[in-house]
Every structure is written in structure tokens, then in C-alpha cells.
Structure 1
């Protein structure tokens, strides 16, 4: 028992108001460099209408048998007649439908307006746009940002037509408003004069408008949302899913090769979450995101299983395995290889490095488990490791017999008490097969059965007691760091205008001032930005279980020590005394997160419910740092 306490390095106790904790100078273990990261899939309009900075909704009228093409987001201007056409010579095979704008009962200026993704934020900076046109017209186009609320034209540009009857021609424009709009109730309109129209109508497609993007990337990401992610100091990105890689049904699995190259050549696909997605954030955009934020890519690949339960037979699986190998060659191959050459032709001659590949997603669900164990995982594992022996190949679940060096992915959505009960969950996990906690979130309130009522509504936003419980679980994970790759909250984003899942780490709409950073975001930020590089064993003056949970160790800098703790359901304030036996530090910084209401949430337009208290703690005799932590708090002590 004594050796277990030293290895674990974390002690729990109940019904005490004070505790002395001694952090030993030797022993312990190095931690994972990827302790906290991000998980992303296009759910809740996290991509289209969210992180992907494109402001035009339904820009290319793409659809499928699941979500047919439509004119959502478009309105006629001055009596124009708008219709969806499938022309004999479309813009591309990926964009077969286009917008036809025809004269109505009146001549003059006509056109269309797009209302954006439930609004368009207009600020005094540059907007870059483009559109494709086909038809016989030799006048000018007028492109404008206009306020519906006030009627004011906020910016306008005139674009000389260069279109023809038989060919699609791209037109580019720039807009720079001189002031910020009063709200996001704005439109982008494109109009033209019928007197210069030689036929009855014009056809439009791939209508685009981008604000400034993160790192000024073309086809890039929304700045305020990336800023929120950047503050977390995350170390990995698991993408592109999630359930979204699986596909609702055949043949709509995630095809990586349809997400690269010019936008006009990118196929859309029906997402798993209720809408057609554009693949605007494609494989290269994901890798740019990793480069920009210093994230380790964890690439999830399709493995022959649909959400409908359909599974590819073993005899028919090889082409899909080859597709994954082609994807890896695209990312990592030299310019002399077939797919590395394709990457280079797109402007990326330097290969990326992939160290982690996850095979599928949650293959224990929807009838996938038997075939996953029987042949699917092994087939992918053998093929990938044969060609790329340094890649860590991950199972999409835990608990199955694993090949040596294979890792696993543990997902947990539970109650606050459920997370606290799993504080020691990873204590018995094998050290040879490391685990990613790829999806972690409190989704349901505490209840007598400590269970989640799947199918019933979940809370809209994370709430404080749930976030503290997540901290307890994550601290338990940190103490088992040699067994753990890292952890990520899921889902990350929710557009509050259209969503399929709550709660999420971040909620947003078209107005960047409404972006809401949840209680869980604050907890993860504190834990992630204060990284323990080497766990150290601890001893304590008390024994037992609850209500304080902690881990301690050395930081990245020489002579730096950290102590992380969460207090869950104590009877009062906790008096804590921490001694770092190997430290000569005389002072430390204590950061404590708390809230007045255990059920309080951050939400768009609401007050900040997380209280952050930062103070200096001076060491007493024999290097003891003494402080008090309130119930339902998360804290980090860092020596100086």
C-alpha cells in the first residue's frame, strides 16, 4: 500500500479540514508532452458557419441525397427571380448546381443577397471575396455589404464583368467598411443592370467573402475562435472526427482527397450532424492549423464502418486501407512520390510529420465492434506499421486485445460524480498500450443512479460543478501520465443558432463579441498552461478518499515546482500545506478558480461566473506553502 501511494503521487481523503502534503524530491516519472489538446469535427456548425471563416452561407449550392441542394441563405434583390439550376456545363463536377438570377417584371438593377451564417459581422477592415459567373453580360457588378437594421450601405465595390455565354469566369473584389455595423443583421449583395444583359439571366456559383483570418491564411480560420483555442496552450489536434469521419451511410465516408485542392473541385458531403458540409476546412487547412498553433496532429481515418451499421467486408477492405496509405503519403511523402508530388503541386513541397493515426471512431457503437476486433483494426494496423513503423496506431476504443505498441482512445461523457468516481480509473491500465482521452465532458447533472439519460436534453453549457469534476478526472489522468497520451474536451464548438449537441467548450454566433468561453474552458486553460514535466511522488498527513485531489511535480523550467488540486464537495474550506522537498523556493504563485454557484454557466451575453484569484504565497519555515482552498475550486501553485 505504501508503494502504491508513492507511485500514484495523489492522495484522497474525506471529512478533514486540513492536510499537509509532502512532495518528494526523487522518483516519479516524466509526463506526456501532449497532456492537453483539442478535438475537432464539423458538428454544431463548428466548421461551416464557425471556425471556417467563410461568411457566405451555402456558397456553392452543394447537396446530396441526404441534404438536397437548396437556396438557403439567399434573397432576391429588386424583384429578381432566383432558381437553382443543374446546367449541362457546371462550374465543376463537384459543384453541379448553380444560382440562376433572372429578370422579373421590372428592368434595372437586380440581383441577390446572402444573409450569411445567421448574420454577417462587419468591421472596418478588409474583406476579400470572389464569385463565378456565366452568361452574356458586359456591364458592371455591384458588390455591397448592407445593414438590414439601418439600411445603410457599409461598403461597396464595382467589378467589371468578364463573363461569357459558355465559360465560367471568376471575379474578385475587396470591400473595406469605414465603420462597424450596429449588429450582425447584415447581407452581402451582388447586383447588375439588366440593360447590359444580353439574355434573360445570369448564373452564379462559389460566392465567397472572407474577413481577415488567423495568420492571414488564404481560405483560413476565424480569428476570435482560434484566439480562444490558442489561449489553452493545447499540444495536439485530433481531427477530422469524431462521428463525422464515419459517414451516415454509404457512400458518404470521409474522403480526404476530396478535401484538398481548389475550392471549386472540392466535393461536399452530408455530415453526421444534420447538414451538408463544404470541406472548406480540408486536410491541408488542418495541417496549417497544427503548424500555426504548434499542435501535434492526431489523424483519424475511416476504417470501413458507417454510422448506419454497414461494414465493409474483409475481402473488400483493402482499397480503403490503400486510401489511408495514400493519405499518409500525401502528408509525409517526398516530392518524388505520387501523392507527395500532388501535395507539392498545391504549394506544400515540405512534407509534414504524422506520429499518431487513429483507426475509426467509437467502433464499439452502431454494430462495429465484432468486425473491428475480428479484422478491421488489425488490417489497418499491420498495413500502416509495415510502411511507417514509427507511427503510433490507435484503437478507437479501450479494452480490446491490443497489438504491442498500439494505443487506445477512451471517451467519457458522464455526470460530475461519475468523473470524480473515475479519479483512479487509469491506475490499473497497462503502461505498454497508452491511452488518449479523446473526448471528455460532463453532460448530465448528478442523480441517484449516477447515470446519463441518453436521448434526453443535455444542459446547453458546461456548469461549474461539472467543470470541477472534469478537473478531478484530468488530475487523475495526469498522475498516470506514462500511460496517457493526452486529453481533450469534446465537442469544442457550438453555433448557438443551429446545433445537434451540447454542452461544448466554446459557444458562438456571427458576432465575435458573443463568443462564450465556458467554465470548462477556464479549467482546462489553467491545467494546460501550467504543465508538470515530471511527476513526483507525495506523502500526506491524512489518508482516505476525497474531497481534495491533487498531483505535483517539476515544471519545464529548472527549480520550478507545481501543485495542482481540485476540491469537490468538501464540508468547508480546505487548509492545505505543501512542502516541495527538493525546492529552495521562498515564494509561489497560487491561482484559484471558483464560482459562487455550482450550477452557474458562462453563456453568450451573460456575466463571467468563474472567479480567478491570483495571489503570492510566501514559504514558512522549512519551505512550507500554506493556503486555503474553497469547496468546488481548482487551483495551481507554482514556485518562483
Structure 2
């Protein structure tokens, strides 16, 4: 027998070890789970877009506010006619010759005497305009000089006493609308600044699309996102993002249905719209920006379009079984279905296609790789809905069989619409259906077996909106217990997203939310940190029978949830133990089953008083804490009451 060298033996051993790991993992009979399990849902409510994620600092920048948005609003809401310094003139809102017909309102300023400072406009932003010393802000405006002479213009950011924080000057010339852009550099911090634009000589001028952006937006996009808020969202590591909303999508009546084509192209040509949540959408954050943001945070885009009907709660009838649902007239449905098909072309079409060329013209010649498309949201399953949904579904499925269509089964986890929605999905063989539920935290503990017996041969499930009623640690832990069971059923639950995502403090339309913010700060909830741990530590395989809880009662106690998954991309094994009960829980993880493992690993824990809550006044009440711990073949553990623990183990990678 030939004698083998030490090097040869070492090479054989290294080759053999992954095989052993493969065999040991295989002995666990791993279950494949969705690669897109945990993501986010963005809806423009609670000032999530304008005044929120969209970085525009001017409120009502194009003078399109009206009492239809809010009974107390008008074209000059958030604006003040500025005549300090003994100047005077007249101001009016007109629509005769706008920058674009989609943006009809503009201001005409006639300066009869400029006085010592000039005459103009002041904007208060969204609860003030926050600015930072040493930072730059990009100002732009469309002006139409209607008088004979050029007009000197001064633009400044000032504090509440009129002190100048930074300024710039330029000259507006010639008839017709022209866009002017200036950078304002700030010398002092202020959380409550105002933008002032003054005409410094006699004359008449049209004013529209007054805009102010920080130069440092997220990923430095010109029409971009608020950097700090976007980064907190990105830090969730979501696998997908659903947008632009739920109820927002199908709107308050047919005329208010969200039309994606109104949200693309130059911002001055987009069509503003009343928000179903009783404020205004500038559409500056439109479908191009949504797709781009998804790309920036490495999340798959999941746009949702109305199923040809408006919200059943239209007209203010916000109750289960409301009858405000209206349908797009059938003679208009062919055009609406084409709009849906055009969206797919806009996202995925070549630069030579009609709508792909518009995407390219916006600065993105490469496709956005759209994979999912939602049709409908929490709709009442009526004949009106079914007829229109079938038309859209059949057309999309025929033209784009590669697109995974997501249907809807109403607003609740059970009931008439739920049953009818599932019946329709089964008839059409819809690939995925969207279930929603907002419930008490105890509901999540009592329903941890919800998906155990779902038929694996029918539609997969997207839990598009779910949350327990509250942002306390107990709420987040009940959600964590529930989420361990989503992992266990990750073969039938394809996606899940907590909702709503973000809310501006002082303007919340719905509670609870995952992230709160004001003009200067962002406040992640405890629920946020739980969601973050699941998304950042997701797996591609569920490994059963690795974790065993001690004691018969512990295994039956629905206040405890455990999960073990493997991430194929890294080879890591991730254990999750959620305890929403008032007693510590002990158990054993049989790490020997997963193959070769290191002597230590990182343990991250979220724990505290069950009533603890992260707020603006106490934003760090509960935070994840990580520490390195030693591991053994049979790792014994005890997790405290009201805690969530995540153990990530670096294992020899299995090919």
C-alpha cells in the first residue's frame, strides 16, 4: 500500500469535513423556506412621504393644497406673504398659464414698492425647516418674469426672529417659465427655520415649484430621500418593499385611485393628488423613486395597484362591510389593464420599448427586475371586484407569466371576505395571496400554529400588513414568537411585513408604527429591532429538532417560540428563542446535529420590562445587546422572561 503524505491526508480531511456537515444537516430533514420572507411595507400615511422619507423641505411647494385635502387648507397653506421693510404689492393664485397643466396653480407677485428688504414669500416647511451648520441645501424655483426689467431675487433661510442662517442671490430674466437653482450654505444650526424668497425691485413675476433639498440625500440622488430616515429603513435589511400603500392604492373613490403614470417624469409635470389619509401627495416620491430606493437598499420591489375598484370605505364609511366600493367603468377597464401592463414594461422593458425608454430617460437604463406585482388591497370581495380582478389577472398572467401576482383576501384574518378571497384565488390559481391582520398581542400567541396545516399545493401567503396593537416590549416579543412560526412555515408563507413602516410624530394617522420620526431625529421602536433581527438573520432552510425546551409545560407554552435556520449563502446557522412569558425558559440546542461548529458565537438579546417602550423622550429604553458566548455540542441555555435571543453560528460552509 502506498504511503500517503501528511499534506495529502490533510487535504483529504478538509475535503471530507464539509461532506460530514452536509450529511448531518441532511439528517435533520431541512425544509426549504422563502428567500424573501421578511421585508417592509411603505404606505404614504402619517406624512411618510411628503414631510417624511421624501427629502423635500418645502411644504405645498406648488401651491396645490386645497380644502379637498384638508378642510382648513388652501393654495397658500404653509406660506406667508412677506412685506417686512415697508414694501408692498399684491399677491394672487392663478391658473391661466402654468408651468404644466398637471400642476395648474401658481402665485403671481406684483411688487409695487420693494421697500428696504423686498417683497416675497415665506415657507414654514413641515413643522419648521431643520438645517445644519456647514451643510448645503439646494434651492430651486420656476419663475416667469411678467414685467419688462430683470428682477433681483434674494433667497435665505432664517430663524424665527429673522436672523439669516444662509442665503444666495440671483437675477430672474425674460418672459416664460424658467427654472433657477442655487445652493444655500448654512452657518448656524436651527430646527425651526423658514425659507424666505424676496423680489428686490418693482416688477411682476409668476412663482411655482419652490423647492429645497439637502444636498446630502440618501445615496445622493437629486430628487432623493431623507438620509437618516432612509438609512434606518435600510438597516432593517429587508428582502422586499411593498409600495406605495394599502388603502392609499385603491383610494377614496374611483377618481382618487392611485395612478402610477401620474408619478413619473419631471416633478413639475406630475399630478398632485389628495391623500386618502386627509392630507396631500406631491408625487415627488413616485414610482421611479420607489424602484430606485428598493434598489438602493437591496430590496425586491413589490408595487401594489388597485384592482379596478376603490376602497370599500370610500366616503368616510370606515367600518367593516362598508359599501363605498366603486368600480372603474367597464368601458374604461381595457385602458386600465393596459396601464398595469405598461408598469411591467416600465420596470423591466428594454430601453427601446415605449415605457422602458421613459425609465431610461429618468436615468436608469437597466431594468429594475420586477418579480412581484400586487393587485388589490384588503378589498371587499364583491362581484364588482371579482370581474375587474379577473380581467387584470388574466391579462398579466398571459402577457407576463414570469411575474408573480399577489391577490388579496380582505382586511381580516378570517370572515366572509377572507373566505371569498381564498375561493377566488383557488379558482384562478393565483400564486400568492395577501393576508392582513392587526390584533391584540395575545392573538399572536394563540395563533402560532396558523399556517401549520395550510395546503402546500395552493397559493402561497404574503402577510402584507400585521402588527399587535402597541410598541411595548411585550408587543414586540409576541410578534417575535409568531415570527418563529413564520420561519417554520416558510415554505407556505412567502413574505411578511410589519405595518405601517414610518410615522411623523404629531401627524400619525395610525398606531402602532415601526419607526417614528420628527424633523431632526428618527426613533426606532422595540418592534423595529425584532424585525431587524429576523430580516438580518434570515435563512434559506428551516432545521427542525435542533432546539429542545426543558419541561413538558415549556414545550406547550405558546408564550415561547423557537426556530433554527440555515443561511445557504454564508453557511451560518441561526437560532432564535423568543420568550413573551414572565418566567425564564431553559433548553438545549443539539449543535452536534449541524456539523462542525466553532467554540464561540455571537448572542444578541433584546430584553427588559414588558412595559418598556422606546419613545422620543426615551429612545434607548430597549436596545439589542450582543456578546460572544462559548458553545458546546449540546448547548444548554436559559433565556430570561420577556426576552428575544438570536445566536448566529459560523459553520463550515456546505456546498
TM-score range, shorter chain: 0.7 to 0.9
* Separation (CA, whole Å) in 2 of partners of 1:577 and 1:406: 38
Counterpart Cα distance in 2 of 1:336 and 1:151: 53
Distance 1:277 1:361 in 2: 19
Shift of residue 81, structure 1, vs aligned partner: 5.9
Indicate if the aligned counterparts of 2:35 and 2:539 stay in contact, CA closer than 8 A. no
Instruction: Assess if the C-alpha contact under 8 Å between 2:575 and 2:646 holds in 1.
Output: yes
Distance 1:144 1:312 in 2: 47
- Structure number with higher relative contact order (C-alpha < 8 Å, ≥ 6 residues apart): 1
Query: Please, what TM-score do these two structures have when normalized by structure 2?
Result: 0.85
Tell whether 2:233 aligns with 1:208: no
Give secondary structure in 1 for the equivalent of 2:255: coil
Task: Indicate how the Cα distance of structure 1 residues 416 and 535 shifts in structure 2: closer, same or farther if over 3 A, else same.
Answer: same
- Name which of 56, 60, 69 aligns with 1:58: 60
State the shift of 1:83 in Å.
4.1
Shift of 1:313: 4.9
- SS where residue 100 of structure 1 aligns? strand
> 1:39–1:438: 8 Å Cα contact kept in structure 2?
yes
Asked if the contact 1:82–1:99 (Cα under 8 Å) also holds between the matched residues in 2, the reply is: no
**8 Å contact from structure 1 (residues 435, 485) kept in 2:** yes
| Secondary structure in 1 matching 2:532 | helix
Alignment partner for residue 90 of structure 1, among 95, 98, 101?
A: 98
Distance in 2 between residues matched to 1:56 and 1:102, nearest whole Å = 22
Distance 2:199 2:333 in 1: 52
* Shift of residue 202, structure 1, vs aligned partner: 2.5
* Aligned twin of 1:618: 630
| Cα distance in 2, alignment partners of residues 63 and 179 from structure 1 | 31
Q: Which moved more, 1:578-587 or 1:205-214?
A: 578-587
Summarize the alignment of residues 484-495 of structure 1 with structure 2, pairs less than 5 Å apart.
484-495=493-504
Aligned to 1:73: 78
Task: Provide the C-alpha distance between the structure 2 equivalents of 1:92 and 1:218, rounded to a whole number of angstroms.
Answer: 21
Counterpart-to-counterpart distance in 2, 1:576 and 1:610:
25
Deviations 1:402-427 (A, max 9, x none): 22352101111011101111211111
3-state DSSP of counterpart to 1:425? coil
Structure 1 contact 591–615 (Cα < 8 Å) conserved: yes
Distance, in Å, in 2 between the alignment partners of 1:218 and 1:339 is 22
| Aligned partner (choices 162, 165, 169) of residue 173 of structure 2 | 162
Determine the C-alpha separation between the residues in 2 that align with 1:329 and 1:146: 46
Q: 1:73 to 1:330 in 2, by over 3 A?
A: same
Q: Say if 1:287 and 1:297, in contact at 8 Å, map to a contact too.
A: yes
Cα deviations by residue, 1:84-143 (Å, 9 ceiling, x for unpaired) = 422321121112111233447873412111111111111121111111112224232111
Does 2:216 match 1:227? no
Contact 2:477 2:642 in 1 (8 A): yes
State the SS of the aligned residue for 1:121: strand
The aligned residue for residue 563 of structure 2 is: 551
Hey, what does 1:236 align to over in structure 2?
240
Alignment partner of 2:51: what SS? helix
| Structure 1 counterpart of 2:339 | 323
CA separation of 1:582/1:607 partners in 2, compared to 1, >3 Å: closer, same or farther?
Answer: closer
| Distance verdict in 2 for CA 1:487–1:62, change over 3 Å | same
Residue 344 of structure 1 aligns to a residue whose secondary structure is helix
CA–CA distance in 2 between the matches of 1:286 and 1:557? 27
Deviations 1:318-348, CA, capped at 9 Å, x for gaps: 2211111122122222233222233333333
Within the alignment, does 1:281 sit opposite 2:285 as a pair?
yes
Quote how far apart the aligned CAs of 1:285 are: 0.4
- Separation in 1, partners of 2:368, 2:25: 40
Q: Matched residues in 1 for 2:163 and 2:253: separation?
A: 46
Q: Tell me the distance in 1 between the aligned counterparts of 2:207 and 2:309.
A: 37
Matched, 1:390 2:392: no
Alpha carbons 1:112, 1:190 under 8 Å: kept: yes
Counterpart contact for 1:118–1:497, Cα < 8 Å: no
Partner of residue 416, structure 1: 441
Cα drift, residue 629 of structure 1: 1.0
Report how far residue 316 of structure 1 moved: 4.5
Deviations 1:227-270 (A, max 9, x none): 10111111101011111111111312111111111111101011
Determine helix, strand or coil for the equivalent of 2:265.
Answer: coil
8 Å contact 1:51–1:226 — kept in the other structure?
yes
Provide, for residues 428-477 of structure 1, a one-character-per-residue CA deviation record: whole Å limited to 9, x for no partner. 2222311111111112xxxxxxxxxxxxxxx6xx1111111111111111
CA distance in 2, matches of 1:47, 1:557: 34
- Structure 2: stretches of 5+ with no match in the other structure: 1-23, 315-324, 410-417, 651-655
Q: Provide, for residues 335-385 of structure 1, a one-character-per-residue CA deviation record: whole Å limited to 9, x for no partner.
A: 332222333333333222211111111113xxx54433x322222111101
The unaligned stretches of length 5 or more in structure 1 are 1-21, 444-458
Q: What is the alpha-carbon distance in structure 1 between the residues aligned to residue 64 and residue 307 of structure 2?
A: 26
Aligned equivalents of 1:288, 1:106: Cα separation in 2: 44
Match of 2:456 among 417, 424, 431: 431
- Residue 10 of structure 2 is matched in structure 1 by none
Any conservation in 1 of the 2:574–2:647 contact (CA below 8 Å)? yes
Matched, 1:566 2:578: yes
Structure 2 residue 328 is the aligned partner of structure 1 residue 312: yes
Task: For residue 555 of structure 1, report the CA deviation from its aligned partner.
Answer: 2.6
Relative to structure 1, is the Cα distance of residues 418 and 163 closer, same or farther in structure 2, using a 3 angstrom cutoff?
Answer: farther
Of 582, 588, 595, the residue aligned with 2:608 is 595
Distance 1:506 1:426 in 2: 28
Pairs within 5 Å for 1:132-151 = 132-134=142-144, 135-136=146-147, 137-148=149-160, 151=162
Secondary structure of the residue aligned to 1:395 is strand
1:383 aligned counterpart, secondary structure: helix
Partners of 2:406 and 2:136 in 1: CA distance = 43
Deviations 1:63-94 (CA, angstroms, capped at 9, x unpaired):
46723742111112225567442232112111
Contact in 2 for aligned 1:23/1:579 (Cα 8 Å): no
CA contact (8 A) 1:531 1:556 kept: no
SS in 2 for 1:427: coil
Cα distance in structure 2, aligned partners of 1:177 and 1:213: 16
Name which of 528, 546, 559 aligns with 1:521. 528
